[in-house]
Amino acid sequence: MILYANPTAQFKHYQTEIEEAVLAVMRGDCYVLGEEVSSLEQEFASFIGTTDSVGVANGTDGIELALRALEIGHGDEVVTVSHTAVATVAAIELVGAKPVLVDVESQYYTLNPLQLEEVLSSNTKAVIAVHLYGQAADMDAILAFCNKHKIYLIEDVSQAHGALYKERRLGSIGDIGCFSCYPTKNLGAIGDAGLVTTNDNSLAKKIRMLREYGWEKRVSKFTGRNSRLDEIQAAVLRVKLKHLDADNQKRRQLAKYYTDQLSDLPIFLPDIRAEVEAVFHLFVIQVEDRQELLENLKEEGIQVGVHYPVPVHLQPAYQDIISTACDMSATEKLTQRIISLPIYPELSMNDAETIVTVLKKLLN
C-alpha cells in the first residue's frame, strides 16, 4: 500500500537525530516549557522572519490564543473560509465569537477577497486567511481590506510551513501567524504541537501568558488556560526544522513530476499563484467521478485522501450557528471533486511513478 501521508517514514529518516534529542530531554530535569521550547521559539521566529514565536499545545489552541490576545470574543465576528479544516472555525467558536464564512477562489482554493466587503459589518474584528494545501492566499488583497477597515489579519499557516509569498515567509505578513505541528504537517511533531508567530512583542508576551493561566510570575493577571508545549515535542521539531527547506524542496520536485506526467489527463491540477513558492502539504487534483476513482485506486494499493469532503457550513454542528451570507458555489463544487494524492519527502520516485502509471490507466 502506498500511503498518502507517512510520518513514520520521516521519523525513520531522522531517527538517530530525533532519538538523541528526545533522550537528552528525558535525561534532563525539565519536561515542559524549558530550554528546548525556548530554543525552538527563537529558531522558528528566525526561520519565519518574525521577532517572536510562541510554542503552544496544538494549532487549534494557537488560533484561539491569537484571538484572545487580540481581545476578540462574544459579540465579535471573524471572517474565514468554509473550505478548511474544521479546527479553524472551532477556534473562533471557542472564544465565543461568530464565524462568518466566505467562499474560496476556485483556481487556488484560498479565501476569495472579493467577498470580504459583502460580509463586513460593524462587528467584524478579524480575518483568518487559511493558506491551504501549502498555497498562499491572496495576501495583498486581504491585507489591503484589513488595513482599510482597521481589522486584524491572522494567518492560518498549518499547511504551509516555509512557503513564500513575494519572498516573505507565510506567518510573517499578518498580525499573527498560527501553525499546527500535527505529525503529518510539513513541520510535524510526534504528537500534538503548535506555534504562533508575530512581530508584536506585546502580543507575544500576552500569548505566552495566556498559554499558562494568564500567569506573570505565577500570578494570573487575566484569565488564561493550559496550552503548554512539552520539551520532547519541541526537541523533535528543532531537529525537523533544520531540514524543512530541503524537505519542502522534495515536495516541490514530486509536485512537478505529477504535474508534468498528468497534464494530459482529464483532471484539474493545482495552480500556483504568481510570486508564491508553495510547499505542497497536499497535492490536490479534481476529477469528475471521484467515488469510482477512489475505489479503483484502493484496489490498486494506492491510498488517497479527501481534504475536505464536507464544507464547514454544511456540517451538522455548524449549519445553524454560522453565517454564510455570500455565494459558496466554488467550495460546494470542489468538495465533490477533490482528491489528495500521496506526497511527502520520503515518497520514492518508484512509488510516484506507480501512482502516475495507475492514474493514466484509470483515466485515459
* 3 state SS for the chain: CECCCCHHHHHHHCHHHHHHHHHHHHCCCCCECCHHHHHHHHHHHHHHCCCEEEEECCHHHHHHHHHHHCCCCCCCEEEEECCCCHHHHHHHHHCCCEEEEECECCCCCCECHHHHHHHCCCCEEEEEEECHHHCCCCHHHHHHHHHHHCCEEEEECCCCCCCEECCEECCCCCCEEEEECCCCCCCCCCCCCEEEEECCHHHHHHHHHHCECCEECCEECCCCCECCCEHHHHHHHHHHHHCHHHHHHHHHHHHHHHHHHHCCCCCECCCCCCCEECCCCCEEEECCCHHHHHHHHHHCCECCECCCCCCHHHCCCCCCCCECCCCCHHHHHHCCCEEEECCCCCCCHHHHHHHHHHHHHHHC
Distance CA 104, CA 253 (A): 26
Low-confidence ranges of the chain (pLDDT < 50): none
Residue 219, CB-side half-sphere exposure with 13 Å CA sphere: 2
Hey, do 7-242 and 244-363 end up sharing a CATH topology, with the first three levels equal? Answer: no
β 219-220/276-277 pair status: unpaired
CATH code: domain 244-363 is: 3.90.1150.10
Domain 7-242: give its CATH code: 3.40.640.10
For the chain, give every domain's residue range: 7-242, 244-363
Say which residues have a Cβ less than 8 Å from residue 315's Cβ, sequence separation at least 6. 86
